[in-house]
């Protein structure tokens, strides 16, 4: 039997969660009531945290991967003494509440990552554990365990059904992330009903084959001692992550316990009263916490604050013994860029030979990798194509493999795009890193479940995406992105950059590194591109700029990436026919949109018609252009030059369209697009 106080605390958590959902008249009581023992075990017996300093660098990380059960997390944060009051709990799911409908890392102290889209949280946790292992390997010294913590996860059936989780946990097993401990809420229920409708695999066998240590607890509702023992067991295994499969009852205590009815609907008033009576609580009282439970948790909080103080003095000693390491540690945790970064960025002139932007990206990574030790990442098995591995790189691998070590910064993600992006989110959430992931631009579509969360979570992740158009050629339409950038540009808080040459590649990386609250997607070519007259890092940061200042142009050609130099050629053809065309390079719509209106008007003055050219969907260009060159269909399999001819993206095609557009607007006024007053 568990000591009485634990039972009281667990039942308090269950009743509070039920109250929270009932008050909101919306939410999910089942998972919180079933997972209350796990949460209580972690928050009261295992986790190292200081509720008064939620960002303490070496705190244990906790992720509720079944984010729909977040009433549980908010209740735990409240009990543990974080800045979540009983009144806050009463505002669950209401506008501007610190207790939003699913956990959001930027809304609530103590929430590490945004969860709710199933499978993401457990995958983020793999990133958190990678970050911990790498920082510990980098900064810890004998007698100074500056970074030393676990990552704990609670997840449900849904998380285990999602492909992204399989990608991430497979990598976690390979990497032997021994400080990652996942508690699986094995309640046999999901929304449609019993999991036997579609989920009959042996989860334990699957995780064993991934290289995880596994444990089973038969009665997660009542065997609290067994639960604590299992977590202790898990902590002892240091070279494998652990999965503890815990049999629970969804909605434990409710009249509908053990059924899908308690998954996502508030308990009725009578049911809540019944639950409280069963637990020995006053059925008339809501949001009640017994003094003994408050006391228990306030002692735990004080203990955490004490551990934090001890760590502070350890860090002070560390700082006097290793001053450079300590100041580097502080810089990285603060998310500040090193001063030398900007000078290290390569600059080019038009006489430099034509190079693919993916290759220019490799050159840049080689120049900055040593200056920017927070840069960590890799490719989804396209290192040779994507050119993302710098010369001095060491692989992030467990030492026993002989392939690298935890101090390494190059991650072999395998062909796991979605897992890669979710892991990058977790690494960002840890703090102290700028992670990157790489694949062909087209395959970022496999990862958008996670890249969308990079944006929502305000995470600085750099997505280095190569082979960025039909320009990749022979691989054909299966590999050629068409709609991809339009989708990414439509995603809030996402910086899309498609540089046209070497200076723009440097500018694009600088823009990506400089903003610590949003992800960036760099779209890079496979084919070689000339260095442009008029390009610069500074111009790139403005998002769009004319390559040449022209007093009175008849026409503007705006393009991104590989199509800018094609437009330069088109403008030369037009000049031969007496049409003066200004070429605007637009490496980033978002950066341009953020400029002052006066600047925007100098780039797109009223009365001058605009043609856009981009070798992908024309969708979205209507915002700046009166006519567009691009695709409205999928691409095709052929050499690059033939495809540009087929889809009408040659200097001649663009010049011909230019003549047509100029002719057309001779007889009517040119609509104002940029800076219209509504």
Ligand X SMILES: *[C@@H]1O[C@H](CO)[C@@H](O)[C@H](O)[C@H]1NC(C)=O
> Residues interacting with ligand TPP, by CB under 6 A?
30-31, 66, 68-69, 116-118, 156-158, 187, 189-191, 250, 263
| Closest CB to ligand TPP among residues 448, 674 | 448
Task: Tell me which of ligand X, ligand TPP, Mg ion, none is bound by residue 385, counting a contact when its beta carbon lies within the kind-specific cut-off of 5 to 8 angstroms.
Answer: ligand X
Among ligand X, ligand TPP, Mg ion, none, residue 593 binds (CB under 5-8 Å by kind): none
Query: Cα–chain-centroid distance for residue 1?
Result: 42
Rg (alpha carbons) of the chain, rounded to whole number: 28
- For Mg ion, the nearest residue by Cβ is 157
257 touches Mg ion (CB under 5 A) = no
Catalytic residue, chosen from 132, 162, 257, 417, is 417
141-170 positions binding Mg ion, by CB under 5 A: 156-157
Whole-number minimum distance, CB 217 to ligand TPP, in Å?
16
Nearest in space to 35 (alpha carbons), one of 296, 288, 262, 301:
262
Cβ within 8 Å of residue 555, ≥6 positions away: 574, 579, 580, 581, 582, 608, 609, 610, 611, 658, 661, 662
Please choose, out of 188-196, 210-218, 463-471, 576-584, the segment that lies near Mg ion by the rule CB under 5 A. Answer: 188-196
- Which of ligand TPP, Mg ion, ligand X, none interacts with 31 (beta carbon under 5 to 8 A by kind)? ligand TPP
What gap in Å lies between CA 627 and CA 20, rounded to an integer? 54
Mapped onto helix, strand or coil, the DSSP state of residue 215 is strand
Which lies closer to ligand X via its Cβ, residue 333 or residue 550?
Answer: 333
**What is the side-by-side strand order in the sheet with 495-497?**
410-412, 375-379, 434-440, 462-466, 520-523, 495-497
Name the pairing type of β-strands 434-440 and 495-497.
unpaired
Smaller CB separation from ligand TPP, 154 or 345: 154
| CA atoms within 13 A of residue 294's CA, in its CB half-sphere | 7
Q: What are the counts of helices (DSSP H) followed by strands (DSSP E) for the chain?
A: 25, 20
Beta bridge partners of 410: 377, 395
> Which of 552, 559, 550 minimizes the C-alpha distance to 654?
559
- How far apart, in Å, are the Cα atoms of 529 and each of 354, 587, 638? 5, 14, 19
The residue among 595 and 618 lying less far from ligand X, judged by its C-beta, is 595
Nearer to ligand TPP, 118 or 126 (CB): 118
Find the shortest distance in angstroms from Cβ 192 to ligand TPP.
Answer: 8
3-state secondary structure of 355: strand
Q: How far is the CB of 484 from ligand X (least distance, A)?
A: 17
| Alpha-carbon span 413 to 416, nearest angstrom | 6
Cβ of residue 536: shortest distance to ligand X, in angstroms? Answer: 18
Instruction: Mark residue 431 as left, alpha or beta (left: phi above 0; alpha: psi -120 to 50; beta: remaining).
Output: left
Nearer to Mg ion, 168 or 189 (CB): 189
Smaller CB separation from Mg ion, 157 or 362: 157
| Whole-angstrom distance, CA of residue 136 vs CA of residue 132 | 6
**CB of 157 vs Mg ion, minimal distance in Å:** 4
Answer whether 73's CB lies under 8 Å from 54's CB. Answer: no
Q: Is 186 a residue that touches Mg ion (CB under 5 A)?
A: no
Select the residue whose beta carbon is closest to ligand TPP and give its number. 156
Q: CA geometry: angle at 495 spanning 367 and 96, to 5°?
A: 130
Who's near 614: CB < 8 A, 6+ residues apart? 469, 485, 498, 559, 560, 561, 563, 621, 628, 629, 630
163 or 323: CB nearest ligand TPP: 163
Residue 417 bears catalytic tag: yes
For residue 154, the minimal CB distance to Mg ion (Å) is: 11
Question: Which of 115, 650 has the CB closer to ligand TPP?
Answer: 115
Using rule CB under 5 A, residue 34 touches Mg ion: no
What is the C-alpha separation between 261 and 109, in angstroms, rounded?
Answer: 31
**Distance from C-alpha of 331 to C-alpha of 500, rounded to nearest angstrom:** 32
**Only segment of 186-194, 196-204, 641-649, 655-663 that touches Mg ion (CB under 5 A):** 186-194
Min CB(181)–ligand TPP separation in Å: 18
- Shortest distance, position 112 Cβ to ligand X, whole Å: 16
Contacted entry of ligand X, Mg ion, ligand TPP, none for residue 384, CB cut-off 5 to 8 Å set by kind: ligand X
Which of left, alpha, beta for 492 (phi over 0: left; psi -120 to 50: alpha)? beta
- Name the maximum alpha-carbon separation found in the chain: 92
Residue 187 interacting with Mg ion (CB under 5 A):
yes
The option from ligand X, Mg ion, ligand TPP, none interacting with 518 (CB < 5 to 8 A, set by class) reads ligand X
Residue 98 binds which entry of Mg ion, ligand TPP, ligand X, none, CB below 5-8 Å type-dependent: ligand X
> Which chain residues interact with ligand X by CB under 6 A?
48, 83, 98, 148-150, 179, 307, 384-385, 493, 515, 517-518
Nearest residue relative to ligand X (C-beta): 385
Query: Is residue 458 helix, strand or coil?
Result: coil
**C-alpha pair distances (Å), 569 with each of 531, 566, 582, 626, 659:** 13, 5, 11, 20, 15
Collapsing DSSP states into helix, strand and coil, what is residue 80? helix
Look up residue 141 and give its DSSP letter: B
Task: Give the one entry of ligand TPP, ligand X, Mg ion, none that residue 263 binds, where binding means its C-beta sits below a cut-off of 5 to 8 angstroms depending on kind.
Answer: ligand TPP
Name the binder of 66 from Mg ion, ligand TPP, ligand X, none, CB < 5-8 A by kind: ligand TPP
For ligand X, which is the closer residue by CB, 309 or 394?
Answer: 309
Binding at 618: pick from ligand TPP, Mg ion, ligand X, none (beta carbon under 5-8 Å per type): none
Structure tokens given for 646: 């087929």
Residue 224: partners with Cβ closer than 8 Å, 6 or more residues away = 2, 6, 7, 10, 37, 40, 41
CB of 123 to ligand TPP, least distance (A): 12
- Residue 528, classed as helix, strand or coil, is strand
Cα(604)–Cα(493) distance, integer angstroms: 24
Q: How far is the CB of 626 from ligand X (least distance, A)?
A: 28
Residue that the structure tokens 């948790």 belong to: 297
Among ligand X, ligand TPP, Mg ion, none, what does residue 83 contact (CB within 5–8 Å per kind)?
Answer: ligand X
Answer with the entry of ligand TPP, Mg ion, ligand X, none that 191 interacts with (C-beta below 5 to 8 A by kind).
Answer: ligand TPP
Position of tokens 């009576």? Answer: 277
Among Mg ion, ligand TPP, ligand X, none, what does residue 380 contact (CB within 5–8 Å per kind)? none
Rounded Cα–Cα distance for residues 79 and 77 (Å): 6
Q: Which is nearer to ligand TPP, 169 or 495 (CB)?
A: 169
Using DSSP's 3-state secondary structure scheme, residue 427 falls into helix
- Could you say whether residue 29 binds Mg ion (CB under 5 A)? no
Question: Considering the complex, what minimum distance in angstroms separates the CB of residue 563 from ligand TPP?
Answer: 36
149/170 with CB nearer ligand X: 149
Smallest gap from Cβ 57 to ligand X, in A, equals: 11
Active site residues: 417
Binding site for Mg ion (CB under 5 A): 156-157, 187, 189-190
């Amino acid at each position: 039997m568990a000591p009485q106080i634990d039972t009281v605390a667990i039942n308090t958590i269950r009743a509070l969660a039920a109250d929270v959902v009932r008050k909101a008249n919306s939410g999910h009581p089942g998972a919180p009531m079933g997972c209350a023992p796990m949460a209580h075990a972690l928050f009261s017996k295992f986790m190292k945290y200081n509720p008064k300093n939620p960002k303490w660098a070496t705190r244990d990380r906790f992720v509720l991967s079944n984010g729909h059960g977040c009433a549980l997390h908010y209740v735990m944060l409240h009990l543990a003494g974080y800045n979540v009051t009983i009144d806050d709990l009463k505002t669950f799911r209401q506008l501007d509440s610190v207790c939003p409908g699913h956990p959001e890392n930027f809304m609530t102290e103590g929430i590490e990552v945004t969860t709710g889209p199933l499978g993401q949280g457990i995958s983020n946790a793999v990133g958190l554990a990678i970050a911990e292992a790498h920082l510990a390997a980098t900064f810890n010294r004998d007698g100074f365990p500056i970074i030393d913590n676990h990552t704990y996860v609670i997840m449900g059936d849904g998380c285990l059904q999602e492909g992204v989780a399989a990608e991430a946990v497979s990598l976690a097993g390979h990497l032997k992330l021994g400080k990652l401990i996942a508690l699986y809420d094995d309640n046999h229920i999901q929304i449609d009903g019993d999991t036997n409708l579609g989920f009959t695999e042996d989860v334990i066998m699957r995780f064993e084959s991934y290289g995880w240590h596994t444990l089973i607890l038969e009665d997660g509702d009542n065997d609290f001692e067994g639960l604590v023992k299992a977590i202790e067991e898990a902590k002892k295994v240091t070279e494998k992550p652990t999965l503890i499969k815990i049999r629970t009852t969804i909605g434990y205590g409710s009249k509908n316990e053990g059924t899908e009815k308690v998954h996502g609907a508030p308990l009725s008033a009578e049911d809540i009263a019944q639950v409280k009576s069963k637990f020995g609580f006053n059925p008339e009282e809501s949001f009640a916490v017994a003094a003994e439970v408050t006391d228990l948790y306030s002692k735990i909080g004080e203990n955490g604050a004490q551990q934090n103080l001890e760590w502070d003095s350890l860090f002070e000693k560390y700082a006097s013994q290793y001053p450079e390491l300590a100041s580097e540690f502080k810089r990285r945790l603060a998310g500040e860029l090193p001063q030398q970064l900007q000078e290290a960025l390569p600059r080019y002139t038009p006489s430099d030979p034509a190079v693919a932007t993916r290759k220019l990206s490799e050159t840049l990574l080689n120049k900055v990798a040593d200056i920017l030790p927070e840069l960590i990442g890799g490719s989804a098995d396209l290192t040779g194509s994507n050119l993302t591995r710098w010369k001095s790189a060491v692989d992030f691998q467990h030492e026993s493999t002989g392939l690298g070590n935890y101090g390494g910064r190059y991650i072999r993600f395998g062909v796991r795009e979605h897992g890669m992006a979710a892991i990058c989110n977790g690494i960002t959430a840890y703090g102290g890193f700028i992670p990157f992931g790489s694949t062909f631009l087209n395959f970022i579509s496999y990862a958008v479940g996670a890249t969308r969360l990079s944006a929502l979570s305000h995470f600085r992740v750099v997505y280095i995406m190569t082979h960025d158009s039909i320009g990749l050629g022979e691989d054909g339409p299966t590999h050629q992105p068409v709609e991809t950038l339009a989708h990414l540009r439509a995603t809030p808080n996402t910086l899309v950059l498609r540089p046209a040459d070497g200076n723009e590649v440097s500018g694009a990386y600088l823009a990506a590194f400089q903003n610590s609250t949003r992800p960036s997607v760099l779209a890079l070519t496979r084919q070689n591109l000339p260095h442009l007259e008029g390009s610069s890092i500074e111009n790139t940061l403005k998002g769009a700029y004319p390559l040449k200042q022209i007093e009175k142009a008849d026409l503007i050609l705006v393009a991104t990436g590989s199509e800018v130099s094609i437009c330069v050629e088109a403008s030369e053809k037009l000049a031969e026919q007496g049409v003066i065309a200004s070429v605007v390079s637009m490496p980033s719509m978002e950066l341009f949109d953020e400029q002052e209106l006066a600047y925007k008007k100098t780039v797109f003055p009223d009365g001058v018609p605009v043609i856009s050219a981009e070798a992908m969907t024309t969708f979205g260009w209507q915002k700046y252009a009166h006519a567009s060159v691009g695709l409205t269909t999928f691409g095709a399999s052929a050499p690059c030059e033939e495809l540009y001819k087929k889809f009408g993206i040659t200097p001649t095609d663009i010049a011909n369209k230019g003549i047509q557009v100029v002719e057309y607007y001779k007889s009517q006024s040119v609509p104002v697009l940029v800076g219209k007053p509504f």
